[in-house]
Amino acid sequence: MTEKTPARRQARKPDAITAVLAEVRAEMAMVGEGTPLWGGQRPEKSPAFYRVRAADWFSIDLARCKADRPGWDSRILASAFRAFAQPDHGEVRKELLALAAAAVSAVQALDEGTG
């Protein structure tokens, strides 16, 4: 009687987002832990400052979209300012996730040659 050896499965290639997130994980080691959300001399005033910048960049991004000329630069800057404009840590977290999604999408566009 001849025993069959199980067929070897080929290792799956990680999808593009998984590969980018692995790079992000490696970069996180360089960023530094323990950094507060808002810095400077008066961190309590930071959300108000960033609210103005968020509105500016939202307007720029919206105008570009209406003119059919969108770009990741304005989308990411608007998201970053919007995130730090939030006074509540839960809202900051939600907006930072949106920022991360935009950043990963921009990296993916670069990798695909569409960015």
Give me the amino acid identity at 30: M
- Which of 54, 89, 94, 91 shows the shortest CA–CA distance to 75? 54
Tell me the pLDDT of the chain (115 aa) as tens digits: 566 666 677 777 768 888 889 998 888 888 877 788 899 999 999 999 999 999 999 999 999 999 999 999 999 999 999 999 999 999 999 999 999 999 999 999 999 888 7
What is the rounded CA–CA span in Å between residue 113 and residue 107? 10
